[in-house]
Amino acid sequence: GIGIVTNTPTSGDVEFLSPVSIGGQTLNMDFDTGSSDLWVFNTGLSAAQSAGHTLFDATKSTTFKKLTGQTFSVSYGDGSSVSGTVGTDVVNIGGAQVNAQAVELATKVSSSFVQDTASNGLVGLAFSKLNTVQPTQQKTFFDNVQASLASPVFTANLKHDAAGSYEFGAIDSTQFSGTMNFVNVETTQGFWQFTSSKFAIGNGTVQTGGAGQAIADTGTTLLLANDNIVNAYYSTVTGAENNQQVGGITIPCDADLPDLQLDVGGKMATVKGTDIMFEQVQGNTCFGGLQAIDSDLMIFGDVFFKSNFVAFNIGDNTLGFAPH
């Protein structure tokens, strides 16, 4: 079978949310290919922590089963964190269903989750080895559902300020143009990771300088690359500056940004300049969608996905991408 669900960007394309059915209750959640826990806002949270959120009520689900003695605790790259208890329930995403999916009930969430009332939890779609449930590590929804899918794939179609889709079980070739490039994924760290050592600005010459490795991460808003790429890119943009107050590089909102070509597993992917123009800070000053990260693992987040339709294949550990 297959499962198709829409994803909707919150204002400014900060995150992309999709409806998920858990024990017959529907919550809008953030699909995150950069982590591997499925956790939800629920009635066990304090009123202060859960105000404004849609809450999963395990007592109202006839199919929820508590996993006694199991707990989880995740901390994320942006310093946010969540912890709680674990059960299983029927999880259905656009028609693709797992009857006993580990559903992690948050009992503590950090402030950014409390404030982000649009999101009621995360669906982790990285490899199960990153799942934090103890003492018995649990599988992701994708890992559980893959055997029942027509094909062990899911695709991410993220659009700027418009509804996109996630599809489990098939690659819909009407959703992208040209041929899809497939590359090998390195799974040892549990991410959808690939080599990334080259780049080019616009149609300029391809140069080396990438950090060497990168991950495809729908849970990260921006495109986080190493200094070589970031400096080379913004040196071509008049008025680009590193603005400590806003915490990154800003550019004039009326700048005509060049495209950026990035190495994905040995093949070049293009991120459109228009997708690198991120959000207005104030006046004619805009925040760049490409920012620097000081790590040997670059993070190709939602800015990358807005220019590239991506297929994740857990059957042969490959990643496909095509412009869209």
Ligand X SMILES: CC[C@H](C)[C@H](NC(=O)C[C@H](O)[C@H](CC1CCCCC1)NC(=O)CCNC(=O)[C@H](Cc1ccccc1)NC(=O)N1CCC(N)CC1)C(=O)NCc1cnc(C)nc1N
Q: Which residues are designated catalytic?
A: 32, 217
Q: Are strands 260-264 and 297-300 parallel, antiparallel or unpaired?
A: unpaired
- Taking CB under 6 A as the criterion, the residue among 11, 79, 178, 245 binding ligand X is 79
Please state the closest distance from residue 272 (CB atom) to ligand X, in A: 19
Residue 42 carries which DSSP code?
Answer: B
Please state the closest distance from residue 315 (CB atom) to ligand X, in A: 22
Residues binding ligand X: number (CB under 6 A): 23
Of the listed pieces 43-51, 60-68, 216-224, 227-235, which binds ligand X according to CB under 6 A? Answer: 216-224
Contact 256/247 with Cβ under 8 angstroms? no
Q: Does 8 bind ligand X (CB under 6 A)?
A: no
Residues 91-130 that bind ligand X (CB under 6 A): 112, 116, 130
Q: Which is nearer to ligand X, 78 or 161 (CB)?
A: 78
- Taking CB under 6 A as the criterion, the residue among 17, 22, 45, 74 binding ligand X is 74
Residue 229 is inside which H or E element, if any?
Answer: helix 227-234
- Taking CB under 6 A as the criterion, the residue among 43, 46, 75, 173 binding ligand X is 75
Please state the closest distance from residue 40 (CB atom) to ligand X, in A: 13
Of the listed pieces 57-65, 178-186, 213-221, 303-311, which binds ligand X according to CB under 6 A? Answer: 213-221
Q: Which is nearer to ligand X, 79 or 135 (CB)?
A: 79
Distances (CA, A) of 142 to 27, 33, 109: 18, 10, 24
The backbone torsions φ and ψ at residue 302, rounded to the nearest 5 degrees and listed phi first, read -55, -35
Measured between alpha carbons, how far is 191 from 214 in angstroms, rounded to an integer?
9
Contact 221/229 with Cβ under 8 angstroms? no
**Cβ density class 31-43: b for 16+ within 10 Å, e for less:** bbbbbbbbbbbbe
Measured between alpha carbons, how far is 213 from 36 in angstroms, rounded to an integer?
20
Three-class SS of residue 128?
helix
Q: Does 275 bind ligand X (CB under 6 A)?
A: no
Measured between alpha carbons, how far is 42 from 300 in angstroms, rounded to an integer?
31
Of the listed pieces 73-81, 94-102, 233-241, 249-257, which binds ligand X according to CB under 6 A? Answer: 73-81
| Contact set with ligand X (CB under 6 A) | 14-15, 30, 32, 34-35, 74-80, 112, 116, 130, 132, 217, 219-222, 301
